Amino acid sequence: MLTIQDALRQGSGLLQREGVAAARLTAELLLCHALGRERSYLFAHGGDELTEMAWIHYGRYLHRRMKGEPSQYITRKQEFYGRPFRVGPDVLIPRPETEHLIEAALERARGARRAVDIGCGSGAIGVTWTLETGCATWASDISPAAVAVAQGNAERLAAGVRFAVCDLAAAFAPRSFDLVLSNPPYVPDREGPLLQREIREHEPAVALFGGPTGVEIYERLIADAARILVPGGILAMEIGYQGETRVRAMLGEGWVEPDTRRDLAGWPRVVSARLAP
């Protein structure tokens, strides 16, 4: 039988040969998942033998990862803003860059009393917002399967978010919110073939593609936000690396105080603005 150390060595070797990035870390995460243990366990018990069942599970997980499935869909977990979210192939894996949207909104609208997360996916934004601020929060997605995942996350994390399945903000009444948060799909359709295999073959297309140039959905999102925000309310949107100029140009005269927040790599990441009072 193999020890934990042997299994990690073999697993990371296999992953490396398949060109999987961060092979050793990935092997550790998959072995933790097979054992139902935290990472610290691997270091304290490196000489322990694996049970046959753990070895079988670990082998299956390695195989799935080598075929291009993201680790997060195998372990069903991704952390966002310090909290564990359950994820699966019905939702985008929340990205660390999206935490800048939370930061931008905290700076501009910490005191919001009613907020909505449009295109909620796993619920990462809406759940985080309500837990960070105590604000009454709603969330919508066009995908019923995504809303089911987000509802599960809200329940597990004890966040009282209310959900709707609808196109953008169609389910919400005019002037209902003082904050609209959104990370809409923004990859240009034509860039599909350029995406990493993990994204292209496994993450839902409805969560990725924003139209021929990638910014088409923002026209509708901005119009919807203008309808559901109270005067003086804040709209904060994540954008793709090429989206800043075009998205800011879509904010017409009805919007004031436009702002762009950059991510740690210096790319424009969040555009926000205030609906004219």
Bridge partner residues of 105 (DSSP): none
End-to-end CA distance of the chain: 70
Member of 119, 214, 233, 268 binding ligand SAM (CB under 6 A): 119
Member of 142, 148, 195, 199 binding ligand SAM (CB under 6 A): 142
- The string of DSSP letters for 14-41 reads HHHHTT-SSHHHHHHHHHHHHHT--HHH
Member of 71, 143, 153, 272 binding ligand SAM (CB under 6 A): 143
Cβ pair 245, 130 in contact under 8 A = no
**122 makes contact with ligand SAM (CB under 6 A):** yes
Cβ pair 125, 149 in contact under 8 A = no
Cβ pair 73, 30 in contact under 8 A = no
Q: Which of 3, 59, 68 is nearest to 30 (CA)?
A: 59
Comparing CB distances to ligand SAM, the nearer of 107 and 167 is: 167
Comparing CB distances to ligand SAM, the nearer of 26 and 140 is: 140
**167 makes contact with ligand SAM (CB under 6 A):** yes
List the interface residues with ligand SAM, window 10-39 (CB under 6 A).
none
**224 makes contact with ligand SAM (CB under 6 A):** no
- Paired tokens of 128: 């985080």
**Candidates 21-29, 51-59, 115-123, 259-267; binding stretch for ligand SAM (CB under 6 A):** 115-123
**Cα(130)–Cα(161) distance, integer angstroms:** 7
The minimum distance between CB 257 and ligand SAM, in angstroms, equals 24
Backbone angles phi, psi at 28, to 5 degrees: -65, -45
The minimum distance between CB 103 and ligand SAM, in angstroms, equals 14
Return residues touching ligand SAM (CB under 6 A): 91-92, 94, 98, 119-122, 124-125, 140-143, 146, 167-168, 183-185, 206-207
